[in-house]
Amino acid sequence: MNDMLVGKPLKRKEDQRLLTGKGRYVDDIRRPGETYAVFVRSPIAHGIIKSIDKEAALAAPGVLGVFTGKDIQRDEWGSIPCGWVVTDRQGEPHKAVPHYALTPDRARYVGDHLAVVVAETYEQARDGAELVEIEFEELEPVVTLAMAMEGEQIHDLAPQNLCYDWELGSRAEIDAIFETAHHVTSLDLVNNRLVPNAMEPRAAIAEYDSGLDSYTLWSTSQNPHMLRWMLSGSVTGIPETKIRVIAPDVGGGFGMKIYCYPEETTCLWLSKVIDRPVRWTGDRSESFLADTHARDHLTTVDLAMDKDGTFLGMKIDTTANMGAYLSNYATSIPTYFYATLFAGCYKTPVIYSNVRAVFTNTSPVDAYRGAGRPEAAYLIERVVDVAAREMGMDPIDIRRRNFIKPEDFPYQTPVILTYDIGDYDASLDEALRMIDYDGFPARREEAKARGKLRGIGLACYIEACGVAPSQLIGKMGAGAGLWESGQIRFNATGTAFVLTGTHGHGQGHETTFGQIVADMFGIPIEDVELIHGDTSQVPMGMGTYGSRSLAVGGSAIVRAGEKVIEKGRKIAAHMLEASVIDIEFEQGLFSVTGTNKSVTIKEVAERAYVPLDYPEGLEPGLDETAFYDPGNFTYPAGTHICEVEIDPRTGVLEIVDWVAVDDFGTVINPMIVEGQIHGGLAQGIGQAIMENGVYDPESGQLITGSFMDYCMPRADDLPSFRVGYTCTPCTHNPLGAKGAGEAGCIAAPPTLINAIVNALDIRHIDMPATGEKLWRIARDKIAAQ
Amino acid sequence: MDMNGEKVINAPQALVWQALNDPDMLRASIPGCQELERTGENGFEATVKAKVGPVSAKFAGVVELLDINAPESYRISGEGKGGVAGFASGHADVKLIPDGDTTTLVYTVNAKVGGKLAQIGSRLIDSAAKKMANQFFTKFSENLEGYTPETSSKAAD
């Protein structure tokens, strides 16, 4: 019998491997006879392909083939799909523009895939790619959101480059509210474009077995089963039984590795054409150009209030960038993962949003840590702060006045979602206590004496995790259900394999799921081995994103465990010569009620596989699978408060304190959760003050295409975060868990921007609030005095 | 990328004009120029090795002289491809203003770059271009010493 592990900060099982260089990533895998693919990418943002001259490349040493989009099209491989249909204001589906692995006709962004060169070595493939001559008829690139609807049309299917014009709520109703409002706060916001920059670039190896007529694809994927499904069902027509996708150790995903990409699709095709394994590993420059980017919104938000600062209605108008093609879930991010969160933590009775998604000649945009919720939290928590300023109210008071209160749950928001539980005052109270809010004026004075401008800012965020209840997302246009599968397979010696359709790529699933299963059966965590990331081993799965792995995947494992216990009770009843209804199970022991007769799970497992004396009707084996479809999203929420100091002479910003109080429901491993918060905060702070993906507005060239120009946060840019928790357990899953992966990234931008505007005593500053911007504002203010 | 400037050259306008139309002079003066051949009355083919920040590449390109108003002004227009390093294209308006035995060369450059050159080198393009322009004029002025149109026509034969 061991102590309960759930709730303990166990060190991560996987770190022995990952921190000692024993991880096995796609690029570590070698296949006999492998060849190398290098892509010829478009150097221009927009142009019709006039000709592609392969001759010189084909003659180069080691080159085995040069292929273009026309070659793949001859095999009738279709478009990479966008799996989420968003219906526009006229009731029409979004413009589903084609996205071929290699573009057959036109280059639509710098980095677009024009041709691929396969050679014996990487160097030969690279040299070959240099020799492919492509002539274009250049077209005017459409680069910025502002120019999208007037610019050159990028896809035949999409006039005015409009993917959809979508709304949620009633325009007439919101207009009526605004007419009666005492005050309206309006704010124009930029949600800056981000480049995800996972530590491990994307990579793929495809191998075709002509004997079996089947393919194996090793990919840096967050969801191997979904990748297989899309490749089979949408792109190739190859049966799923003939495609095996393996996602081994993956070095960070952040959403960017959810998708079916042109590179792995092309490698799969090439593996049969070349009839040898084909490998591709992206370099950092390719990652910048051709990984999906994120965010990139222009928004106007209007908040209507009565004279006491009670919210009456909110109106949101957003233009969202889809980039040049639709990535798999791109359409859903600025709609159903964004506008459905506009209630925030508040009882705003009427909300209307209008989102126009447009195509531009830039890298495709899709989910990235938070995926729609950071954009929602940023606009809500910024406009609420500005409203407090305009109404002459304390930013704490205006929030408390409008909070959904504990007695209001379940709370039906005006934007589809129903929150099951929460206590927003509790996390606000705890955060105020931890940061010593009342002591701030003294700290500000002390900073002033040192010549520094000190500011404080907070954000009370909410998000929706546990993607997702299939019925609900089906109504929203999703093309797949988002249940999860879990399997627990006991071995004859009492150890257990746990198979999950989620995929760990830094989240510590081996440990967290191990803790759950070890506790459930009273066995050591060392006896639990997690299997994930291989479509040939795990029966089915939907992958990892949207902080769903624990809430959905973990719940599926619990359900499978319950089935194992039910089966175990039957075996134990036989072993103990008792009736099944008299067998109870606790902490690894099956016992007969009211007696001291018991057998361990280990003994039961052994008997399950050595059924020499089994009675008729009792089935051998102890291996159960469950599929879990959540009843609702989960709704983590919390309050983050930070304090900053700005040196007005230099614009240098220091984050001097950061308090994060989150309600994630049940926490399985607080150390892993804290790590998730830290990582999310780093990325959110990066968005707020450093990161910005910029294309040259005239040429469409990505001019922040390396770490020289795209500023990533480093350890010394960040404070020592202080983390606290409140807990209202999720009401509808067996773990009571909500999800913690994205909270930091969602809470950080509004928290930090609110602190910066507080320090500078200004109304607004757009992200990224770089040192240069801060310095200019401080300089102008000093000059005005 | 836009760049403009002027340079006083220690030679009369006619001679400077002659030299600016002489492939040998250009080849000897353009930094990193490995080949430059006349392909028509006003066209050239050139290979130039250039380095912008961490990106170094050999650019193969064509150059054309337009709006020729001898011996006062022309536009030199060209584009070069550097494989995966990207491409550069643009034009320069060049004007020669005589001042006795010297000539003031006034230039306006408008250029664009693409591919890796833009991705990695954007912030370095301006300084790299200025440096190349300076190197060109220094070398060009040096090469003009002892230059006569006759040596040019011999070279052209």
E strand residue ranges, A147-285: 162-168, 183-194, 203-209, 214-219, 243-246, 278-281
Q: Report how far residue A553's alpha carbon sits from residue A544's, in angstroms, rounded to the nearest whole number.
A: 9
CA nearest neighbour of B5 among B106, B95, B83: B106
What is the edge-to-edge ordering of all strands in the sheet holding A106-107? A106-107, A47-53, A133-138
pLDDT of residue A3: 77
pLDDT of residue B149: 67
Cis ω for the linkage preceding A737 (within 30 of 0): no
Average pLDDT taken over every residue of chain A: 96
CA nearest neighbour of A256 among A364, A366, A333, A335: A366
User: Which residues does B contribute to its contact with A (CB < 8 Å)?
Assistant: 53, 83-84, 86-87, 112-116, 118-120, 122-123
Average pLDDT over residues B39-57: 86
DSSP β-bridge partners for residue B58: B49
Q: Which residues contact A469 (CB under 8 A, 6 or more apart)?
A: A482, A629, A630, A631, A632, A633
pLDDT of residue B124: 82
Average pLDDT over residues A290-312: 98
DSSP state of B1: -
Chain B, nearest residue to A289 by Cα: B119
Per DSSP, the three-state class of A571 is: helix
Torsion of CA A739, A744, A749, A754, to 10 degrees: 100
CA of B68 vs chain A CAs: smallest distance (Å): 27
Using a CB–CB cutoff of 8 Å, tell me whether A170 touches chain B: no
DSSP state of A611: -
Contact by Cβ (8 Å): B59, B81: yes
CA nearest neighbour of A202 among A27, A19, A14: A27
Chain A, nearest residue to B53 by Cα: A708
Side chain identity at residue A750, one-letter code:
P
Cα dihedral across residues A149, A151, A156, A159: positive or negative: positive
Q: What is the band of B82 on the pLDDT scale with cuts at 50, 70, 90?
A: confident
Q: Which residues contact A7 (CB under 8 A, 6 or more apart)?
A: A666, A667, A668, A669, A670
Contact by Cβ (8 Å): B116, A285: yes
Contact B86 A43 (CB under 8 A): yes
Contact A285 B119 (CB under 8 A): yes
Q: What is the band of A479 on the pLDDT scale with cuts at 50, 70, 90?
A: confident
Q: Report how far residue A450's alpha carbon sits from residue A442's, in angstroms, rounded to the nearest whole number.
A: 13
pLDDT of residue B130: 85
Q: Report how far residue A496's alpha carbon sits from residue A605's, in angstroms, rounded to the nearest whole number.
A: 10
Instruction: Tell me the Cα Rg of chain A.
Output: 27
Q: In chain A, what percentage of residues exceed pLDDT 70? A: 100
In chain B, domain spans: 2-156
pLDDT of A46 > 70? The answer is yes
pLDDT of B157 > 50? The answer is no
Lowest average pLDDT, out of A412-416, A663-667, B53-57, B104-108, goes to B53-57
User: Which chain A residues are within 8 Å of B112, Cβ to Cβ?
Assistant: 698-699
Task: Give which of A46, A139, A703 to mutate to test B binding, by max B Cβ within 10 Å.
Answer: A703
**β-strand A496-500 against A484-490: which pairing, if any?**
antiparallel
Chain B, nearest residue to A133 by Cα: B83
Q: What is the pLDDT of residues A535-568, one digit of tens each?
A: 999 999 999 999 999 999 999 999 999 999 999 9
Using a CB–CB cutoff of 8 Å, tell me whether A468 touches chain B: no
Q: Report how far residue A220's alpha carbon sits from residue A536's, in angstroms, rounded to the nearest whole number.
A: 16
Q: Report how far residue A14's alpha carbon sits from residue A4's, in angstroms, rounded to the nearest whole number.
A: 20
Using a CB–CB cutoff of 8 Å, tell me whether A44 touches chain B: yes
Cα within 13 Å of Cα(A193), Cβ side: 27
List the structure tokens of A322: 């889809």
Chain B, nearest residue to A694 by Cα: B119
Among A44, A708, A709, whose Cβ lies nearest the Cβ of B114? A44
Q: What's the angle, vertex CA A337, arms to CA A336 and CA A343, rounded to 5?
A: 90
Asked whether the ipTM of the predicted complex exceeds the cut of 0.85, the reply is: no
List the structure tokens of A500: 């999950």
Q: What is the pLDDT of residues A194-239, one digit of tens each?
A: 999 999 999 999 999 999 999 999 999 999 999 999 999 999 999 9
pLDDT of B152 > 80? The answer is no
Lowest average pLDDT, out of A164-178, A282-296, A668-682, B38-52, goes to B38-52
pLDDT of residue A276: 98
Contact A43 B112 (CB under 8 A): no
Using a CB–CB cutoff of 8 Å, tell me whether A131 touches chain B: yes
Q: Report how far residue A551's alpha carbon sits from residue A561's, in angstroms, rounded to the nearest whole number.
A: 15
Among A126, A698, A701, whose Cβ lies nearest the Cβ of B119? A701
Any idea which architecture B2-156 has in CATH? Answer: 2-Layer Sandwich (3.30)
Neighbours of A619 (CB within 10 A): 11
Contact B112 A703 (CB under 8 A): no
pLDDT of A434 > 80? The answer is yes
pLDDT of B153 > 60? The answer is no
Contact by Cβ (8 Å): A11, A671: yes
Instruction: Report the greatest alpha carbon distance in chain A.
Output: 93
Contact A705 B112 (CB under 8 A): no
Per DSSP, the three-state class of B20 is: helix
Instruction: Tell me the Cα Rg of chain B.
Output: 15
Contact by Cβ (8 Å): B9, B143: no
Q: Report how far residue A673's alpha carbon sits from residue B104's, in angstroms, rounded to the nearest whole number.
A: 69
Average pLDDT over residues B70-99: 89
Q: Which residues contact A292 (CB under 8 A, 6 or more apart)?
A: A196, A255, A256, A259, A323, A327, A330, A363, A364, A365, A366, A367, A368
Overall size of chain B counted in residues: 157
Q: What's the angle, vertex CA A410, arms to CA A547 and CA A733, rounded to 5?
A: 40
User: Which chain A residues are within 8 Å of B53, Cβ to Cβ?
Assistant: 708
Among B112, B115, B120, whose Cβ lies nearest the Cβ of A706? B120
> Which residues of A, range 97-126, sit inside 8 Å of B by Cβ?
110, 126
Contact by Cβ (8 Å): B64, B83: no
pLDDT of residue B155: 41
Task: Give which of B1, B59, B84, B125 to mutate to test A binding, by max A Cβ within 10 Å.
Answer: B84
Q: What is the pLDDT of residues B87-135, one digit of tens each?
A: 888 898 999 999 988 999 999 988 888 888 888 877 788 888 888 888 8
Q: Give the range with max mean pLDDT: A260-274, A461-475, B47-61, B92-106.
A: A260-274
pLDDT of residue A95: 98
Q: Which residues contact A436 (CB under 8 A, 6 or more apart)?
A: none
CA nearest neighbour of A123 among A197, A182, A49, A37: A37
Q: What is the band of B150 on the pLDDT scale with cuts at 50, 70, 90?
A: low
Q: In chain A, what percentage of residues exceed pLDDT 90? A: 97
pLDDT of residue A2: 54
Average pLDDT over residues A170-181: 97
User: Which chain A residues are within 8 Å of B114, Cβ to Cβ?
Assistant: 43-44, 110, 699, 701
A-B contacts at Cβ under 8 angstroms: 52
Which stretches of A149-235 are DSSP H helices? 171-180, 224-230
Using a CB–CB cutoff of 8 Å, tell me whether A85 touches chain B: no
Chain B, nearest residue to A707 by Cα: B120
Q: Report how far residue A414's alpha carbon sits from residue A351's, in angstroms, rounded to the nearest whole number.
A: 6
For chain A, the 3-state helix, strand and coil shares in percent, each to the nearest 5, are 35, 25, 40
Contact B119 A126 (CB under 8 A): no
Domains detected in chain A: 31-139+199-252+257-290 (3.90.1170.50), 294-467+632-784 (3.30.365.10), 483-628 (3.30.365.10)
Chain B, nearest residue to A111 by Cα: B115
Neighbours of B35 (CB within 10 A): 12
Q: What is the pLDDT of residues A571-605, one digit of tens each?
A: 999 999 999 999 999 989 999 999 999 999 999 99
CA of A217 vs chain B CAs: smallest distance (Å): 27
List the structure tokens of A168: 């949620």
Using H for helix, E for strand and C for coil, what is the string for A720-779? CCEEEEECCCCCCCCCCECCCCCHHHHHHHHHHHHHHHHHHCCCCCCCCCCHHHHHHHHH
Among B53, B83, B118, whose Cβ lies nearest the Cβ of A703? B118
Q: Report how far residue B28's alpha carbon sits from residue B35's, in angstroms, rounded to the nearest whole number.
A: 10
Contact by Cβ (8 Å): A13, A525: yes
Among B84, B87, B112, whose Cβ lies nearest the Cβ of A129? B84
Contact by Cβ (8 Å): A260, A16: no
Which stretches of A34-165 are DSSP H helices? 55-58, 69-74, 122-130, 145-148
Chain A, nearest residue to B58 by Cα: A130
Q: Report how far residue A406's alpha carbon sits from residue A46's, in angstroms, rounded to the nearest whole number.
A: 53
Chain A, nearest residue to B87 by Cα: A43
Overall size of chain A counted in residues: 785
Per DSSP, the three-state class of A142 is: coil
CA of B113 vs chain A CAs: smallest distance (Å): 8
Using a CB–CB cutoff of 8 Å, tell me whether A699 touches chain B: yes
CA of A147 vs chain B CAs: smallest distance (Å): 20
Q: Report how far residue A99's alpha carbon sits from residue A109's, in angstroms, rounded to the nearest whole number.
A: 12
**β-strand B87-99 against B102-114: which pairing, if any?**
antiparallel
Q: Report how far residue A649's alpha carbon sits from residue A183's, in angstroms, rounded to the nearest whole number.
A: 37
Q: Report how far residue A331's alpha carbon sits from residue A337's, in angstroms, rounded to the nearest whole number.
A: 10
pLDDT of B151 > 60? The answer is no
CA of B122 vs chain A CAs: smallest distance (Å): 6
Among A129, A131, A702, whose Cβ lies nearest the Cβ of B119? A702
CA of A66 vs chain B CAs: smallest distance (Å): 16
Q: What is the band of A785 on the pLDDT scale with cuts at 50, 70, 90?
A: confident
